[in-house]
A and B are shown apart, each in its own frame.
Chain A
Amino acid sequence: MAKVKEYGNAELEEKLRDTSYYTDDSNPQFLEDVKKISRTAANMCFQCGTCTGSCPSAPRSSYRIRLFMRKGVLGLEKEALNDPDLWLCTTCYSCTDRCPRDLAPTDVIMAMRNLAFKFDIVPRNFLKTVQLIYNSGHGVPNNDVNRAARVKLGLPADPPTTHSYPEFIPGIQKIMDFYKMKENADRILSEGEH
């Protein structure tokens, strides 16, 4: 546990905060959960960096897939799940293609997102995507600019998806209701508004 010293000054206390890693910062169950959900031997990461080196997000952000692997190994649950970078993976699977330990870092990220959702830790844009899918069947629904572009290319204005066949939207909603996705998204979004 981090050692706390009373300086009687909040700013100073934050500045001189003990940032050492203590063994009781670790939740070993976190690694087990990640392994179970991701179905990859996340404990076998040897921190070579191939994943971050392959990651198209990394050069443009502070997202480091290798660090998430590390936090998984060490059981640093809170740090991993509260890190907004968790949501910057594009799921391109480049890291999974190249990992020399034959791991699936992408699936580790997905597992951590799953676990974060249980703590209601989800960025607003993801929740809004949930609402959009619920209402239209699309994460990114068609819009006028796209429609015009499609027509110019000789395509129908709407693609042959729920946009053309709205009768399938209730089916999608049924699946999402089963997992309480919309319900939870609505709830978290509204709580955030207080």
Chain B
Amino acid sequence: MVETKNEPRIGVFLCHCGTNIAGSINIEEVKNYAKTLDGVVIADEYQYMCSTPGQSKIIDAINENNLNGVVVAACSPRLHEPTFRMATQEGGLNQFRFEMANIRDQNSWVHMHDLEGATEKAKDQVLIAVAKARMLEDLQPKSVPVEHAALVLGAGVGGMQAALDLANAGIKTYLVEKLPTIGGRMSQLDKTFPTLDCSQCILTPKMVDVGRHPLIELRTYTEVEKVEGYIGNFTITLRHKARGVLDPDQAAARAAATGILGTGCNGCGDCDAVCPVIKPNPFEMGMAPRKAIYIYHAQVMPLQYTIDFDACVKCGLCVDACGSEKNAIDLEAVDTFEEIKVGTCILAIGFDLIPIEEKREWGYKQYDNVITGLEFERLICASGPTVGHLIRPSDGKTPMKIGFVLCAGSRDNTGGVNKAYCSRFCCMYSLKHAHQIMEKIPGAVPYLFYMDIRSFGKMYEEFYYRIQNEGAKFIRGRVANILEDPITKNLIVNTEDTLLGRPVAMEMDMVVLAAAVQPKPEAEHIRQMFGVSKSQDGWLLEAHPKLNPCGTTTAGIYLAGVCQGPKDIPDTVAQAEGAASAASIPIHMGEVQLEPYFAMCMEDLCAGCGMCLNQCPYGALDLIEKNGRTVMEVTEAKCKGCGTCGGFCPGGAIKMQHFTSPQICAQIDAFLLKGGVN
């Protein structure tokens, strides 16, 4: 290590970022200004400071000028602070003797047309950064061990794939699903574009793999109650919702604990047959009934019944039908809680359709024969409520002319339920639906009302070609409104054929709305528990859209599937595999380094009053006896460096490392009083 003397010796390095910064800030002027500041011994510039030559400038300057502090004025610390810290370290300094001034995101990008103003602001930013750099101290990052287990939340195709990858990499993985079965949306689909393989045929084997993997701890009908901790050491409280039916393992545990015998649920369905309560089955989009004791469909995993206690009348008929041998049903079941410890977490909680009935002009829920794409999937599916016969809800007749409304609520800036983004898979599934009706109903004609057909994936454009060749009709116009003939219940679709330049009013037997997708309503609560941001459009926010699409800004939390933004199955699986790989790295490394921004008790100043203990939101502070005095002690692994205690302590006895009061005061002084300007 270079000997760091008390005298500040600072190097300032300005980045052009191509023209991102140099286009609106006079770099030369800022550089000359920096040279005049107290403690600055060298100021330099480069086109791309983050490149190898740029970093070499820092490393060489540290050695040649015996620097003890480095300031880079460039982009945001989120992007390149780690890069420049490494360069500082390579030059022989402690990596925390580095300070960054964000003259791009916070300056050149916002003041693009004000060269003079932006240049003045950049000078101030450099002045403030140098003020702090003069007072930086050596700090040591702290290593903590990582729990050798992971959590995957949501068991759609994304969550299942992530869990399988993690488990196959030797990591114990808790797969938590709020519904009674895994599978997600994909299990509701009939076929999948562009290959048209049967969705269940490719999904159920995966569901079985998940169910029997020795390293996957499956927790269905379970939600996350509480999240505590940080990367490597999350403690997560799970709520097992009262299911009222015991699986064989739970039955065995009951026998051991209470002596009550019974082999548990084997999925025979004897209970289902006798239950008198009938409810709509959400798996079938409400188009088929289920009982108060139910499974969603025949291929559920696990094959275990569930009681809907909101509907159950506790008549006890199911208990009798189940019988004393299995004795699987417990009508008095209550929610139970479980605490698990994991090193990393993947969120894969999927999506919903928007409430498309709020687009009144398209008539969903007003007209019988207007349905959504998901309802179409269930109606065309051989295991669906009509065993695969597409029928009109109004009269059970087979529709021959079927309209598909694309971008139904997507690409729409009018607010309300509408979404400004493209939902990304509806073009492709509407093409698939068109194929399915031409295949199943001889003579049936699909009409696709579209603005653009977005068939961007591998073999997708070819799929579009194929469906057009099979006879589907394409009308380029966004649907203005749909009217119903009250007698025939046929639908009149109004739009303009924009290629022909003529209004069209086409009578259809049935209309399928390719409704936009949106985040799950509970995504908001989930993201707050896990400390994940959301993007402007409401989906969970990745750490970087290009370079870190699976990570989040909270270390140890990763994203997979549609919860991060609309994507089809191939993209969901790809992202899930990426997230699993990223989530396995800290676990395989065995330890992670935490930034040493902890609170520190300056014991000679501490009066031991203990008033800070309740202030800390993370419970990181305790009072201890030391050398015959009561003083406060910080558990560094719990401290997040938020500064609440540091600002609060009446005796000024708490030091926030890397954000000390003298450092912050020096920055304020520099700005307001121009302290440090020669």
Q: Is B203's CB within 8 Å of the partner chain A?
A: no
- B412→A100 contact, CB < 8 A: yes
Most buried by B among A50, A53, A94: A53
Residues of B within 8 A of A50 (CB): 477-480, 495-496
- A52→B496 contact, CB < 8 A: yes
Given contacts A52-B503, A53-B480, A53-B503, 16 further A-B contacts (CB under 8 A): A46-B451, A47-B498, A48-B498, A50-B480, A53-B479, A53-B495, A53-B496, A53-B504, A54-B480, A54-B494, A58-B496, A59-B503, A94-B480, A98-B481, A99-B414, A100-B413
CB contacts under 8 Å to A, within B457-512, are 476-481, 494-498, 501, 503-505
Given contacts A50-B478, A53-B478, A53-B496, contact A58 B503 (CB under 8 A): yes
CB contacts under 8 Å to B, within A125-161, are none
Q: Closest CB of chain B to A42's CB: distance in Å?
A: 14
The residue in chain B whose Cβ has the minimal distance to the Cβ of A97 is: B361
Given contacts A66-B498, A100-B412, A101-B413, contact A54 B481 (CB under 8 A): yes
Q: Is B418's CB within 8 Å of the partner chain A?
A: yes
Residues of A within 8 A of B407 (CB): 100
- A49→B412 contact, CB < 8 A: no
- Where the two chains meet, the residues of B that have a C-beta atom closer than 8 Å to any C-beta of A are 361, 407, 411-415, 418, 451, 476-481, 494-498, 501, 503-505
Q: Is A102's CB within 8 Å of the partner chain B?
A: yes
The residue in chain A whose Cβ has the minimal distance to the Cβ of B493 is: A53
Q: Is A64's CB within 8 Å of the partner chain B?
A: yes
Residue A49 contacts which of B411, B413, B498, B505 (CB distance < 8 angstroms)? B498
Residue pairs across A and B with Cβ atoms less than 8 A apart, 15 shown, are A47-B498, A49-B477, A49-B480, A49-B498, A50-B495, A51-B480, A53-B496, A58-B496, A58-B503, A66-B496, A98-B480, A99-B414, A100-B407, A100-B414, A102-B413
Q: Closest CB of chain A to B481's CB: distance in Å?
A: 7
CB contacts under 8 Å to B, within A23-66, are 46-55, 58-59, 64, 66
Q: Is A67's CB within 8 Å of the partner chain B?
A: yes
- A49→B418 contact, CB < 8 A: no
Residues of B within 8 A of A55 (CB): 503
Residues of B within 8 A of A46 (CB): 451
Residue B414 contacts which of A64, A94, A102 (CB distance < 8 angstroms)? A102
- Where the two chains meet, the residues of A that have a C-beta atom closer than 8 Å to any C-beta of B are 46-55, 58-59, 64, 66-67, 94, 98-102
Question: How distant is the Cα of A38 from the Cα of B54 in the complex, in angstroms?
Answer: 51
Question: How distant is the Cα of A22 from the Cα of B494 in the complex, in angstroms?
Answer: 34
Given contacts A100-B411, A100-B414, A101-B413, contact A49 B494 (CB under 8 A): no
Question: How distant is the Cα of A100 from the Cα of B494 in the complex, in angstroms?
Answer: 15
- B414→A48 contact, CB < 8 A: no
Residues of A within 8 A of B494 (CB): 53-54
Residues of B within 8 A of A54 (CB): 480-481, 494
Question: How distant is the Cα of A64 from the Cα of B361 in the complex, in angstroms?
Answer: 21
- A59→B505 contact, CB < 8 A: yes
Most buried by A among B412, B418, B496, B497: B496
Question: How distant is the Cα of A59 from the Cα of B501 in the complex, in angstroms?
Answer: 11
Residues of B within 8 A of A48 (CB): 451, 477-478, 498
Residues of B within 8 A of A52 (CB): 477, 480, 496, 498, 503
Question: How distant is the Cα of A86 from the Cα of B120 in the complex, in angstroms?
Answer: 52
Q: Closest CB of chain A to B511's CB: distance in Å?
A: 14
The residue in chain B whose Cβ has the minimal distance to the Cβ of A98 is: B480
The residue in chain B whose Cβ has the minimal distance to the Cβ of A67 is: B501
Question: How distant is the Cα of A55 from the Cα of B480 in the complex, in angstroms?
Answer: 9
Residues of A within 8 A of B504 (CB): 53
Given contacts A59-B503, A59-B505, contact A49 B481 (CB under 8 A): no
Q: Closest CB of chain B to A93's CB: distance in Å?
A: 13
Q: Closest CB of chain B to A105's CB: distance in Å?
A: 12
Question: How distant is the Cα of A26 from the Cα of B476 in the complex, in angstroms?
Answer: 26
Residues of A within 8 A of B412 (CB): 100
Residues of A within 8 A of B451 (CB): 46, 48
Question: How distant is the Cα of A120 from the Cα of B499 in the complex, in angstroms?
Answer: 33
Question: How distant is the Cα of A99 from the Cα of B412 in the complex, in angstroms?
Answer: 8
Residues of A within 8 A of B497 (CB): 49
Question: How distant is the Cα of A49 from the Cα of B502 in the complex, in angstroms?
Answer: 9
- B414→A49 contact, CB < 8 A: no
Q: Closest CB of chain B to A164's CB: distance in Å?
A: 40
The residue in chain A whose Cβ has the minimal distance to the Cβ of B495 is: A53
